[in-house]
Structure 1
Amino acid sequence: METLEDTRDFSAELSQLLMHDHDIVQVLNSLAKMAEHRLSSGRTVRCGIVLERPRRNIVVASGSAEAQQMEETQTGFGDGPCLEAQRTGNVIRIPDVRHERRWPPYMEEVRKNGPLSVLAVPLKIDASSTAAMNFYSYEAGDFADDSLEVAVEFANTASTTVAIALRIAEHSETAEDRKRAMESRTTIDIAVGIIMGQNRCSQDQAVQILKRASNHRNMKLRELAEQIISKVGEAAPSTSFES
């Protein structure tokens, strides 16, 4: 069995992970695979991770197809031990799923897939995002004593990696959002210029014409602007923008 000291020693491995993977889903998938490998000594353990962020889709990651299916089922039902752990910050241990009465729809799916024990451990990342790791064992009564401590220590150490990966992802996503906004602004400005030339009107008047047409046709401003540009023989413009 993986010892507590062994689990502490994998911090360097987590640092290497961040150097190679910048996509948050890839980072979480790699963490889940690492967890499965480290906790599967002498038995099979599967791991899934659920991450919730403001104004972003829920991220479901896993180290195996079995865990992915169970985590997607859990998020689909909107309830389960992993979701409760991430929302409450409490560790949840289910020693035998055959006798568990909470979360009936989800537990029924777990029983169909074969695991007998489940352990959900929250990840400590930041005030706005919540996440948890779900460990599945095919042995009843698992995740007790030393194995429980090892799983919790793994999750606690992995929390730092997830927090750093989130900051990297948020910076990248913010830069991409800004880039898209600038590109959209450029397209709209060119369309406004075309309207000014065609109608011999001011910039403000051209903007109002574009907005009225957008509302009337139930189209986004950028989509309508691209149509206007294409009709005068110009390709939709690109914007040079450095984050």
Structure 2
Amino acid sequence: MAVQPADGTMRTERPGFLLDLITGADTDLGSVQRLAEAGAPALAGSADCAALLIRPGGPPVIAGNSTAAEALATSEDRNGDGPLTHAVSTSELVKVDRTTSARWQAYRRRLSASGFGAALALPLDLEDRTSCALLFLVRGTTGLTPDLVAEARWFAEVAAQSMKLALEVRSVRSAGDNLKTVLESRTSIDVACGVIMAQNSCTYAEAFSRLAGASRQRNLKVRSVAENVVKSLAAGSPAARPDPPAPA
């Protein structure tokens, strides 16, 4: 089915298409790398592709389908300018070619030195505070034809949905790992408290207080003290009784 986007160009809609940015990608860098590798052939093999992901509190994540694409994208940090970082910060599409404004002349020289004739940066709509953008780098003098721009826009829409899914899945996995750690920690503490309760005929609250006091005195986490108690019990030796808290 043919659809007409806001820029007036015609392209073919491909419903149901989604990029797999999770399989084999254990980190954000892995997903960004897969995104860049998928972006290059999306423009009929006429462009290289790089991608930039920025998450709150973390460093920028950059990847490219070629050494030249990744190097050019990374150079934007050193030079303080470039269409990729501009697209991320402003959510605007940026075109750099022979008709570009004076603002991008310095970047265009770096572009030419890397063997490319034009660049197209498109932001991905990820919502929240996470930002991502794609950089398509076209070789030769073909430039950014309307068909190439339309194809890049379509791919950016797909990429946005795919990256959202990848980040959500990774977030769920991380939450699951954290929950597992918490539960394992809680199990060790509960068992240790049970040992202390049996040895001292005390309540759970009193047993935990002993663990906490030993934790402060020995500068260890409560979980570590609890694991030592459990290990000594499993070894068949008398469990080491946590020292009571020092008098205030």
Identify the TM-score tier after normalising by the shorter chain: 0.5 to 0.7
Give 1:48's match in structure 2, choosing from 21, 43, 50.
Answer: 50
- Identify if the C-alpha distance between structure 1 residues 19 and 215 changes in structure 2 by more than 3 Å, giving closer, same or farther: closer
- Identify if the C-alpha distance between structure 1 residues 203 and 12 changes in structure 2 by more than 3 Å, giving closer, same or farther: same
The residue that corresponds to 1:223 in the other structure is 224
Which sections of structure 2, spanning at least 5 residues, go unmatched? 1-8, 236-248
Contact 1:47/1:135 (8 A) holds in 2 = yes
Q: Residue deviations 1:7-28, cap 9 Å, x none? A: x43x54426x379678674554
Q: Give the distance between the partners of 2:190 and 2:79, measured in 1 at CA.
A: 45
The residue that corresponds to 1:205 in the other structure is 206
The residue that corresponds to 1:174 in the other structure is 175
Which stretch shows the higher mean deviation, 121-130 or 169-178?
A: 169-178
Amino acid at match of 1:33: E
The residue that corresponds to 1:239 in the other structure is none
What secondary structure sits across from 1:232 in the alignment? helix
- Identify if the C-alpha distance between structure 1 residues 227 and 63 changes in structure 2 by more than 3 Å, giving closer, same or farther: farther
Instruction: Tell me how large the CA RMSD over aligned residues is.
Output: 4.2
The residue that corresponds to 2:241 in the other structure is none
Q: Give the distance between the partners of 1:209 and 1:34, measured in 2 at CA.
A: 57
1:34 paired with 2:38, answer yes
Q: Give the distance between the partners of 1:77 and 1:209, measured in 2 at CA.
A: 58
- Identify if the C-alpha distance between structure 1 residues 210 and 134 changes in structure 2 by more than 3 Å, giving closer, same or farther: farther
**TM-score with structure 1 length normalisation?**
0.66
The residue that corresponds to 1:88 in the other structure is 90
Q: Give the distance between the partners of 2:180 and 2:159, measured in 1 at CA.
A: 31
Amino acid at match of 2:134: M
What secondary structure sits across from 2:151 in the alignment? helix
Q: Residue deviations 1:8-63, cap 9 Å, x none? A: 43x54426x3796786745543332221112254x4x2222223345777554443
Superposition pairs of residues 113-124 of structure 1, within 5 angstroms:
115=116, 117-124=118-125
- Alpha-carbon deviation of 1:4? 6.1
The residue that corresponds to 1:63 in the other structure is 65
- Identify if the C-alpha distance between structure 1 residues 58 and 215 changes in structure 2 by more than 3 Å, giving closer, same or farther: farther
Q: Give the distance between the partners of 2:71 and 2:185, measured in 1 at CA.
A: 38
Contact 1:24/1:165 (8 A) holds in 2 = no
- Identify if the C-alpha distance between structure 1 residues 219 and 36 changes in structure 2 by more than 3 Å, giving closer, same or farther: farther
The residue that corresponds to 1:134 in the other structure is 135
**Greater relative contact order (Cα < 8 A, sep 6+):** 1
**TM-score with structure 2 length normalisation?**
0.65
Which stretch shows the higher mean deviation, 67-76 or 174-183?
A: 67-76
What secondary structure sits across from 2:18 in the alignment? helix
The residue that corresponds to 1:241 in the other structure is none
1:148 paired with 2:149, answer yes
Q: Give the distance between the partners of 2:56 and 2:158, measured in 1 at CA.
A: 23
- Alpha-carbon deviation of 1:173? 2.8
What secondary structure sits across from 2:234 in the alignment? coil
Amino acid at match of 2:190: D
Which sections of structure 1, spanning at least 5 residues, go unmatched? 235-243
- Alpha-carbon deviation of 1:178? 2.0
- Alpha-carbon deviation of 1:122? 0.8
The total of aligned residue pairs comes to 223
